[in-house]
Amino acid sequence: MPPKLSDDVYILGSESTKEKPRLNEGQAYFNILTDGELLPSCLSIQKNEPLRIADVATGTGQWLLDVYNQLPNLSSSRFMGFDVSPALFPPPQALPAQVTLHEHDIRHQFPAEISGTFDVVHARFLKYAFLKTEWEGVLHNMIYLLKPGGYLLWEDSDYSLYSCIPSSLAFTGMVNFDIEFALKSGRDIRHTETLYGLFVSAGLIHCDQVTLFSTDKPELNPLANDLTMRLFSTSFQGMILQGGVEGCRTAYHVKSIIDKVQDEIDNQGLQIVHGIKRIWGQNPVHTTEKKD
């Protein structure tokens, strides 16, 4: 059995006390970016009927709880979250009866008793979690959970979706350190492009995608800066624990890299632009259905 993600590829857990608020604030950011449409209208699901919804790599479970609160309170609906570690889970007694969180490494197949039982399976922000060679297997494990006609919904970002206004050598340098370590570690630096192709090749139908940019919602600009800088700071802290890369191997290096960009944000009006790609596809009801 391979080691847990937090022990090898995943580097964002190095400051676990900071990870929980960052994830929850990220969910608040995402709610604004999507106008609160966490289950977009492109998914042809009956929201007034009982649903089974799974959230993989659920973290704090906040996305799942927000979806639960948006849907009718039907006793037979079920909301199940899965994560490689329960460290960020709220206590079970704090959750509604229909919401349960479970420890599971999504690089491994889910238990047979829940296969083919979910109307929607959701994942988000996993660019730091997997090797390039693992994405296809992870995707198939998620599809394994879907009912015939169920939907896979995935939101993620990669390095091609980061930019800033005006251009900044300090910002580009910061991102490049992260890219260099990603390549050193065997991660896919353009995995949102990879993902869409995997949706199609896995046999999902009605596949589509849209990119949402932080600048589409000007009120998000300060939070886009803050969350991005905290993300890279946390990433670099994890990087240096694994040896880092040339120019980013020590806490001093990390502070210097982050401070240069933060100074441009604070004193020169630098605005980070962050894109999130939303990708979806439907499990065929019949094996004879054709892919788009």
pLDDT in tens, 191-246: 999 999 999 999 999 999 999 999 999 999 999 999 999 999 999 999 999 999 99
pTM of the model: 0.90
Question: Tens of pLDDT along 94-112?
Answer: 999 999 999 999 999 999 9
> What value does the mean pLDDT of the chain take?
91
DSSP three-state, residue 24? helix
* Strand-pair category, 118-124 with 146-156: parallel
Set out the domains of the chain in order of their start, with CATH numbers: 13-282 (3.40.50.150)
Q: Count Cβ atoms below 10 Å from residue 136 Cβ, excluding itself.
A: 16
Residue 49 and residue 71 in contact, taking contact as beta carbons nearer than 8 Å: no
The answer to whether residues 291 and 48 touch, using CB atoms and an 8 Å cutoff, is: no
